[in-house]
Amino acid sequence: MKRILVTGGAGFIGSAFVRNTLRNYPETHVVVYDKLTYAGNLNNLRDADPARHSFVQGDIADGETLAAAMAACDAVVNFAAESHVDRSIMGASDFIRTNVEGVNTLLAQALKLKVGRVLLVSTDEVYGSTEEGSFKESDPLHPRNPYSASKAGSELFGTAYFETYGLPVVITRGSNTYGPYQYPEKVLPLFVTNAIDNEGLPLYGDGRNVRDWLYVDDHCAGIDCVLRHGTPGEAYNVPGGSERQNIELTRRILELTGRDETLIRPVADRVGHDRRYSIDGAKLRALGWAPNTPWDDGVSSTVRWYQENEWWWRPIKSGEFREYYQRQYGSKT
Ligand code: NAD
Ligand code: TYD
């Protein structure tokens, strides 16, 4: 693959994918296409070789601009999305516009330009919640919040383009991802940066909801593996293999930042809060992928990164974020 279009490449996972692709494939040029919403940030691409990537600001729902960026690309990898569950609960229109309409536009342009492969980055949340066992790719989708419903929508359009027009679409369903450059609305960077500032950590409900933590570089390696070796029309789970209750995650963050449990603020539960996500990774392991960052190493190096890179998150937390934080948490913390 000589030229890859990475949509949403200025976000958290997309920017890691760009960095890793440039490092692992010296012959590849990457075109990053990103609308730069509140979550997009060109600082995330500061370590990506400027000679080997180009940037186009644009919306995936804008077919004309997107087609110009897609021209001559061998593959498209879509990370562009509205990605935060709590924001989707406040209002779903942006989620439908980008995650469903935007993805439909992207698929239509890829079909017109006969792109050789399209990968849609999706999420384990499309299966919904389960108290026991782990979802396999053949299990039915049962999204339970507006974010996961919109991601399931984008997947269904991907599969429809494969079935109807033969567009070679592959899908990945990754679990909760963590690492450097994650927008501090998500639980891990929110709690780490609040702890650094000695501010409360708003823990939802009883704190016993379970998430399966996946280090960002392992997630990107899984996406790369599916991009190159996945079967068109198929979806692949990308699990972290590190299921933790939120309270365990919270305690670990407090330990690593040298704070005590008096910072924990139990707050009202998220409405419709999915209890546990869990996915089976056998299908992707059969293609040769496995996560290789143990939870303890990943979480400690990630916390250290936020401690050492205040220049990155302080401006974010003082901008649009303040207003969002107030709306979401009020004076609870
Ligand atoms: P993010 O919110 O950090 O980044 C999203 C990026 O998409 C931003 O750069 C934003 O500017 C861009 N974008 C948004 N709307 C756009 C539009 N209409 N056109 C072009 N660009 C647009 O998200 P993330 O955490 O990096 O997630 C990336 C992808 O991975 C998403 O599709 C998400 O659903 C999926 N995912 C995330 C996780 C996770 O834990 N973060 C887990 C599994 C899957
Ligand atoms: P989040 O990072 O929003 O990811 P997702 O909802 O996509 O899994 O939340 C991870 C878990 O942390 C989830 O169970 C909700 C919980 N959580 C809190 O307890 N407090 C918070 O302030 C946030 C943002 C999340």
What does the alpha-carbon distance between residue 108 and residue 89 come to, in Å, rounded to a whole number? 29
What pLDDT, on the 0 to 100 scale, is given for residue 124?
Answer: 98
CA 35 to ligand 1 center in whole angstroms: 11
Average pLDDT over residues 224-244: 98
The predicted model scores a pTM of 0.99
CATH of domain 3-177+215-238: 3.40.50.720
Please say if the pLDDT value at position 261 is more than 70.
yes
Average pLDDT over residues 56-79: 98
Domain boundaries, the chain: 3-177+215-238
* Identified catalytic residue from 33, 34, 82, 147: 147
- For 128, left (φ over 0), alpha (ψ -120 to 50), or beta? left
Active site residue 131: no
Q: Best of 95, 99, 211, 254 to mutate for ligand 2, by most ligand atoms within 8 A of CB? A: 211
Phi, psi of 166 (to 5 degrees): 75, 15
Please say if the pLDDT value at position 331 is more than 80.
no
**pLDDT tens digits, one per residue of 277-319:** 999 999 999 999 999 999 999 999 999 999 999 999 999 999 8
Half-sphere exposure of 110 (CA within 13 A, CB side): 32
What does the alpha-carbon distance between residue 192 and residue 257 come to, in Å, rounded to a whole number? 7
Element containing residue 16 per DSSP (H, E)? helix 12-24
Report residue 247's pLDDT band, with 50, 70 and 90 as the boundaries. very high
Q: Where does ligand 2 bind, in terms of residues with CB under 6 Å?
A: 85-86, 176, 186-187, 190, 202-204, 209, 211, 246, 270
* Identified catalytic residue from 125, 155, 185, 224: 125
Within 8 A by CB and 6+ apart from 210, the residues are 243, 244, 245, 246, 275, 276, 277, 278
Within 8 A by CB and 6+ apart from 183, the residues are 11, 12, 38, 39, 41, 84, 189, 316
Report residue 108's pLDDT band, with 50, 70 and 90 as the boundaries. very high
Average pLDDT over residues 48-65: 97
- Provide the token pair at 133: 């066992």
Q: What is the mean pLDDT of the chain?
A: 97
What pLDDT, on the 0 to 100 scale, is given for residue 319?
Answer: 82
CA 170 to ligand 2 center in whole angstroms: 27
Q: Nearest residue CA, atom 29 of ligand 1?
A: 79
CA 155 to ligand 2 center in whole angstroms: 23
What pLDDT, on the 0 to 100 scale, is given for residue 4?
Answer: 98
Active site residue 34: no
What does the alpha-carbon distance between residue 187 and residue 302 come to, in Å, rounded to a whole number? 13
Please say if the pLDDT value at position 332 is more than 70.
no
Contact indicator for 147, 84 with CB cutoff of 8 Å = yes
Contact indicator for 79, 10 with CB cutoff of 8 Å = no
* Identified catalytic residue from 34, 82, 124, 217: 124
- For 268, left (φ over 0), alpha (ψ -120 to 50), or beta? beta
Bridge partners (DSSP) of residue 169 are 118
Active site residue 236: no
Name the more confident of 332 and 221. 221
- Provide the token pair at 28: 């590849």
Element containing residue 246 per DSSP (H, E)? helix 246-256
Average pLDDT over residues 145-164: 98
Cα end-to-end distance, the chain, whole Å: 48
Please say if the pLDDT value at position 171 is more than 90.
yes
What pLDDT, on the 0 to 100 scale, is given for residue 299?
Answer: 98
Please say if the pLDDT value at position 5 is more than 90.
yes
Contact indicator for 40, 13 with CB cutoff of 8 Å = no
Contact indicator for 137, 173 with CB cutoff of 8 Å = yes
